[in-house]
Amino acid sequence: MQAEDVVAVLRACGETTRLRLLSLLSQSELTVKDLTGILGQSQPRISRHLKLLTEAAIIERYPEGSWVYYRLGEGSSARIARDALLHVNQADPIVAADFDRLAALRRAKATEAADYFAGRAETWDAERNLHVPETDVEAAMRAMVGNGPLQSFLDLGTGTGRLLEVFADCYERGIGIDASGDMLTVARANLERAGITNAQVRQGDIYALPVTPGQADLTVVHQVLHYLEEPARAIAEAARTLRPGGRLLLVDFAPHDLEFLREKHAHRRLGFAQEQMQRWLEDAGLELNAYNQLSPQRAETDKLSVGLWLAKDPRILTDLPVGTENRELA
């Protein structure tokens, strides 16, 4: 950064309320409403500080329905802010009180998430019990992908954020995308409970993803495609998230004939054949590297099989325009 840019960042950070905001946003994604409750200041005042920090590229904003979530960013300006936060005494009475109120807010949100999920538990459990154990599916996903390291991990249709937890030891930065604000509330609570600070979730359309194309090392679409009217379109959009050499992992049901899933669980597709999925991947410009099918035990005739397709972007890094090689997933 140029010297004047560094000075601009320091000026943006150099105010007590903004430093308190940065301390909080380094720990969690929060809305204006959350921050006004924690700091006890007016909404216009908090919004003004957030605007200054956003303009200085220190924090990032992510609209989600009628809300906007804020988080400490990942770029050069944010790294200067993180360095400044290292010198803040966490035992300072004002800072300590902020974090106490943040902890109380997290507990309240965890309760809200648990109440929502409890309302869906019967349907959720019924679907999970239809196929081979989820632990077996997750183990197969890890075995197929390997242990990384991954700079950027993208989970499409993240739901409860489970895969952000499963792959947490593999990636430097993870992002989960889901269309449901209620499910994102559950996911945030789960990530905070698990102590995962290098992942975040965002609301978005799987057909028009709110991320920079060409940056993900690994993108996963787990048990989502059977809900969609246009699975091929979603696969093509997922393929656009990959960097050269990046991989796309698709996990979904193998073909079956359980028609009640259309009527009671909003399924649009009754599973996918290996050949069909391969054609869609090839149409998206990807190469299928591996396929695995997990089938139930012979005694479990009522269980569904699950397919795993791992594809790769065949481009090499030198295919990228000069200057774009090191851009981060945004």
pLDDT tens-digit readout, 70-83: 989 888 999 999 99
Query: What are the C-alpha distances in Å from 175 to residues 76, 167, 197, 285?
Result: 20, 11, 11, 23
Confidence label for 249 from pLDDT (cuts 50, 70 and 90):
very high
pLDDT at 244: 95
Which residue's entry shows tokens 């990959």?
242
The mean per-residue pLDDT over the stretch 179-203 comes to: 89
The mean per-residue pLDDT over the stretch 34-38 comes to: 94
Confidence label for 300 from pLDDT (cuts 50, 70 and 90):
low
The set of residues, in sequence order, having a beta carbon less than 8 Å from that of 291 and lying 6+ positions away, is 274, 278, 307, 308, 309, 310
Residue 296, SS3 per DSSP: coil
Please tell me the least confidently modeled range out of 11-15, 40-44, 122-126. Answer: 122-126
Token output for 201: 């979730």
Q: How large is the angle between the packed helices 43-55 and 16-25, nearest 10 degrees?
A: 80
Q: Which of 85, 115, 113 is nearest to 24 (CA)?
A: 85
Token output for 94: 């004002």
CA–CA gap between residue 218 and residue 250 (Å, rounded): 11
pLDDT greater at residue 321 or residue 119: 119
Give per-residue pLDDT as tens, 9-20.
999 999 999 999
pLDDT greater at residue 320 or residue 313: 313
Q: What percent of the chain has pLDDT over 90?
A: 54
Confidence label for 170 from pLDDT (cuts 50, 70 and 90):
very high
pLDDT at 116: 56
Strands (E), 30-183: 59-64, 67-72, 150-156, 171-178
Q: Using the 8-state DSSP alphabet, how is residue 96 labeled?
A: H
pLDDT at 326: 43
Confidence label for 327 from pLDDT (cuts 50, 70 and 90):
very low
pLDDT at 147: 83
Which residue's entry shows tokens 């397919």?
307
What is the chain's mean pLDDT, rounded? 86
Phi, psi of 243 (to 5 degrees): -75, 165
Give per-residue pLDDT as tens, 217-237.
999 999 889 888 788 999 999
pLDDT greater at residue 124 or residue 150: 150
CA–CA gap between residue 296 and residue 104 (Å, rounded): 44
Tally of CA atoms within 13 A in the half-sphere of 43 that contains its CB: 4
pLDDT at 265: 72
Q: Is the pTM of this model over 0.75?
A: no
CA–CA gap between residue 189 and residue 186 (Å, rounded): 5
CA–CA gap between residue 19 and residue 17 (Å, rounded): 5
